[in-house]
């Protein structure tokens, strides 16, 4: 079967400074891939390049999503993929949702951007997702503004919003690093249950190797923009090739 997403020898720069070097990997349907590395190694840049977000310039290589060549498609097709087929969860979802709109209004907007749907139907779909994520008081959440919710709740809502259009991939950029450990574990479990329920593939960017160990099928370790280890999570973490990965594992034990 064909891969869902495939990176081939991707090189990326900002202005004149190269930040990613010959990055290759693939993502299967329903797979959870962890991308792990220190701050500044290019993790967010890698995710941005998938959605063609402004900033990073792809110097060479290919990115394929199903049958689409993501570096060659027009902006209309990219808009259709973005938020619909591939959606994003940020480190702090609360600051990425419009503070002047209720969650319910944000739900309706992000669904009607991609298909004809009534407000009532969109809220119904959101309620189903909230319930499948066991969010407390789902109806109240729809009426709330982001500032009325806790950081952890905003993050859980952010994940639910990312699921609205039933994407085949969720890109989660350090979704737990602003949260306390108990909420972080809850978020990780929710991502896992989404994969189980909807077969959504997830790229989880994290600098926390314990989280990567607990949830990912495959793992890609980045150091200074280069892939230093990549493969099945259990194999990479039990017999890492690079000294960088070995140190990362040692430092996570303490
Ligand atoms: N918009 C930008 N313009 C110029 N340089 C950037 C920009 N965004 C990130 N960088 C630089 O690119 C490198 C990789 O950044 P990033 O992908 O955000 O790393 P990470 O997410 O792994 O912390 C860093 O050195 C960062 O300073
Ligand atoms: Mg980042």
Give residue-wise pLDDT tens across range 129-159: 999 888 999 999 999 999 999 988 999 999 9
Interval between CA 199 and ligand 1 midpoint (Å):
31
d(CA 95, CA 71): 29
Q: Point out which residues pair with 38 in neighbouring strands.
A: none
CB of 55 within 6 A of ligand 1: the answer is yes
Quick one: which ligand is closest to 56's CA?
Answer: 1
d(CA 40, CA 107): 32
Interval between CA 20 and ligand 1 midpoint (Å):
10
Q: Are strands 226-232 and 57-65 parallel, antiparallel or unpaired?
A: unpaired
pLDDT band at 119 (very low <50, low <70, confident <90, very high): very high
Q: Which atom of ligand 1 is nearest to the CA of 55?
A: 1
Span 162-173, average pLDDT: 94
CB of 147 within 6 A of ligand 1: the answer is no
CB of 106 within 6 A of ligand 1: the answer is no
pLDDT given at position 90? 84
pLDDT given at position 254? 58
Span 17-31, average pLDDT: 97
Please give the structure tokens belonging to residue 194.
Answer: 């989404």
39-45 long-range Cβ contacts below 8 angstroms, 24+ apart: 39/207, 41/222, 41/223, 41/224, 41/225, 42/12, 42/222, 42/224, 42/225, 43/173, 43/174, 43/205, 43/222, 44/173, 44/205, 45/12, 45/14, 45/19, 45/20
Candidate from 14, 44, 203 with most ligand 1 atoms within 8 A of CB, to mutate:
14
pLDDT band at 63 (very low <50, low <70, confident <90, very high): very high
d(CA 25, CA 127): 35
Task: For each of the domains in the chain, give its residue range(s) and CATH number, in order of start.
Answer: 1-85+170-178+204-254 (3.40.50.300)
Span 165-175, average pLDDT: 94
Q: If we measure between CA atoms, which residue out of 109, 112, 52, 107 comes closest to residue 79? A: 52
* Helix, strand, or coil (residue 218): strand
CB of 43 within 6 A of ligand 1: the answer is yes
d(CA 136, CA 146): 15
Give residue-wise pLDDT tens across range 68-115: 999 999 999 999 999 889 999 988 777 777 888 999 999 999 999 989
CB of 124 within 6 A of ligand 1: the answer is no
Quote the DSSP letter at residue 217. Answer: S
Distances 249 to 3, 39, 82, 212, 213 between C-alpha atoms, Å: 29, 16, 34, 11, 10
Give residue-wise pLDDT tens across range 173-225: 999 888 888 888 888 999 999 999 999 999 999 988 989 999 999 999 999 99
Length reported for the chain:
254
Q: Which atom of ligand 1 is nearest to the CA of 46?
A: 17
């Amino acid at each position: 079967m064909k891969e869902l997403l495939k990176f081939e020898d991707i090189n990326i720069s900002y202005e004149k400074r190269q930040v990613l070097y010959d990055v290759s990997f693939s993502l299967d349907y329903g797979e959870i891939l962890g991308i792990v590395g220190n701050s500044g190694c290019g993790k967010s840049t890698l995710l941005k390049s998938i959605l063609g977000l402004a900033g990073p310039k792809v110097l060479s290589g290919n990115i394929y999503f199903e049958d689409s060549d993501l570096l060659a498609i027009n902006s209309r097709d990219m808009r259709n993929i973005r938020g619909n087929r591939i959606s994003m969860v940020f480190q702090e979802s609360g600051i990425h949702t419009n503070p002047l709109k209720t969650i319910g209004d944000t739900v309706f907007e992000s669904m009607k951007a991609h298909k004809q749907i009534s407000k009532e139907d969109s809220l119904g779909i959101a309620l189903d997702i909230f319930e499948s994520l066991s969010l407390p008081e789902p109806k109240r959440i729809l009426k709330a503004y982001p500032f009325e919710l806790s950081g952890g709740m905003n993050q859980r809502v952010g994940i639910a919003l990312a699921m609205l259009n039933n994407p085949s991939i969720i890109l989660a950029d350090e979704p737990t690093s602003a949260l306390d450990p108990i909420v972080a574990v809850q978020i990780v479990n929710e991502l896992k249950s989404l994969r189980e329920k909807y077969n959504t593939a997830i790229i989880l960017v994290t600098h926390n190797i314990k989280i990567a160990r607990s949830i990912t099928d495959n793992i890609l370790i980045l150091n200074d923009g280069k892939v230093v280890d990549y493969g099945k999570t259990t194999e990479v973490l039990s017999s890492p090739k690079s000294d960088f990965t070995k140190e990362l594992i040692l430092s996570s034990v303490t």
